[in-house]
Structure 1
Amino acid sequence: MNTKSITRSLLFWIVVAIVLGICCSFFFPEWLARIFITFNGLFSNFLGFFVPVLIFALITPAIAGLGRGAGKWLGITAGLAYGSTIISGLIAWGLSAALYPWLLGDQTLITDVDDVDAGALSPFFEVEIPAPFEVMTALVLAFCIGLAMTAVKSDTLYKVATELESAIMKVVTSFVIPLLPLYIFGIFLNLGMNENLGSTMAAFGKVLVLAVVMTIVLLICQYLIAGLVAGVNPFTALRNMLPAYFTALGTSSSAATIPVTLRSTLNNKVDENVAGFAIPLCATIHLSGSMMKIALYAFAVIYMGGLDAPWGLSLGFILLLGIMMIAAPGVPGGAIMAATGLLASMLGFNEEMVALMIAAYIVIDSFGTAANVTGDGAIALVLNRFAAGKIEGVQQEQALVDDSPATAEGSTRV
């Protein structure tokens, strides 16, 4: 099954799971509902064990792969992409601080209720699955080994890292992703039975609309800046990129959209070598649309859940999320799956909060993908202002990017 069909299939089953969870909460007996909550507890504990391994296995070859194609323009492009992603997160952070007191009011998010007699759910039993190492340990270790591999230039080490990534991806595609709809069904079943469903759905509906609107506003801002730097009409440039936007909106895949993104970028008079270098690379590392969605959702959960997130913690979360999403696997939900470790370890999210994030992310995933790939054209315009005629051997660089396991990244974008 290709990425596009996986995306549509997962989105369909996520929607079905949400609807069924809501409906079943009205008539399920307690004993039956607790079976699903028991499964959710086991699956959540497995994710706690697996996510640090996932982070290490995906980030290590991603860093090493970028290093193998290292050069001045690669560094500049990566800096532009990361900067754009982080600015998107900062905008989301500022919006949440300014708008959520008005938009969400006094709505609260109560997902962890222990009184079964009051209608909430608790599992029949729990199995603790300790993680082999902490999330931050996995991130630092991946960076150390990945950067070391760029210096050592060992083909053997790189092959081991990429094969480990393939093995972990197999677990994601064959086990984690297929069970996500069942997990989300249990979450919404629990929300319905502890009478927290109405306020949660209403609040997340508002945040969902805000996220869609802000991805569009973000694109306008990106092209205003790119137009100023490149000396082109920003609205004409953005109009030329609309085929890429709507293709990504339909496919939910940045990888499948690369040919259209490349052609649209060339219509903006970007040098062919610059476009051929920047577009495939940015399809992996430029994730401003995904950042906007995840950050808006995360700060909404923090606000409604009454969690404490001082400015230093919030800034650190955004900076690390911009790095983690680069390693998002090429499957639907990959970006949010890569982010789950940070949500739990840094922000203190419980399993229900993480599941709500996953569901909300996948429901409007294509808007983040469309913002990501369309923004790639803005980065290409900025790069073209300085690199036109100076980038050669694009086919070799592009082959490096296309062969990198991280390039498919679909869930960030998928």
Structure 2
Amino acid sequence: MSAVSESGDSDDVTSVLLTGSPDTQRPSIPYRKLLPSVQTVHNALILRPAPFNEPQVEQVPIPSILPGSVLLRILATPLHSYSRLGFDFYNPGRSPHEQPFIPGSSAIARVTRVGDDATALRIGQLVFFDSVMKGRDSPETIRFCNPVYHGFDPQSKEITVSSGFADGSYAEFMRAPLENCYPLDEAKLMGDPRKWGFAYTPAQLCAIAAFLRPFGGLSSIDVKPGETVLISPATYPNGVAACMVALAMGAKVVACCHNDAKLVKLNQILSHTHNGSCERISTITWTGNRTKDARNINTFGPMDAFLDISPPGARGSLHLKSGIMSLRPGGRVSLMGAYDELEIPNLFVTRCNITLKGNWMHERKDVLALIKMVEKGNLRLKEEDGCYVVGQFGLDQWKEALEAANQLTGIGESVVFSF
């Protein structure tokens, strides 16, 4: 007998094909279990080109995966004391972006999706995303900080836009280069202290980003345990981080600044931390007199190394000369300042075989080394160690977050977006 009825009713045919017989009873399903919906959009802080419009939190499509990329679910991402300035004065003349984009910084995140070319990262893994990006085939010439700083030349700016990584971390999801995502030991960093974990939160782990820049400078001149390092200016955010990471590296720190009150506070905080409790930090106030400043520094003995990490406002200051002339013969200087011109005591540098090393940010090996220091407990990120998360905000609180970041004192404080 044919399975198709003489009437040719298509409903009868479908019923027979699905159930095997016209007389077969369909099962009763009182509750149907629906498949979970797939998220296709996420919330992001959108910044638009000039004429400037206020940033807006909008729903945008979740980024797709490109070759050599990974999709991250952001857990926490820091704001900086200069973040508000960047928002207020954003315009196409200072940025290559001609379309709306998502600002951001480094971040603590989880891997949500990986491409076929990923060899180590896996879905669900806790990672640190480093916002300092370099050209894969030309890391010496193509360098930019996504999406804050866009390189040294027009070519770098063009690559920023076309790279697929123009959007930053101030969003729920982010597409990032594989090589900028560093696996973290979650069991150790966020685990129970009773099981030898540190019980850090994602917001506290964001401090890794603050330590990276000065750590790159100190590593570039090969600072060793037991050496004495002069750091100036020591009370700005980068300088404070430099003091803390130098102590964690086993060095003795001489911190210098023009503000005596801030130096007293810095000394009070760091001398009570795990790394600074062994009387390995001293402070000196710059007087502006080159000879007197060098003599004051030398009361702690000749310096082995000098890290200058001055902001643009230090232009014309004599502290650089004083710092260099406090070095022992064969001493090293890491120049990470943000000013165009500087005055160097050339005769002293030549006679004493002083090494001057310019350094922009950090290298991949520095990120790996710093993460290891945090995981092993050499560099600690709790309040008792001088690291204070003074504000955690959602994206919709971006105004409050920018205001809080703008008021950071620099003495170990941080503000983050948390998700």
- Quick check: TM above 0.5? no
- Structure number with the higher helix fraction is 1
- Structure number with the higher strand fraction is 2
Larger Rg: 2
Q: Relative CO higher for 1 or 2, CA cutoff 8 Å, sep ≥ 6?
A: 1
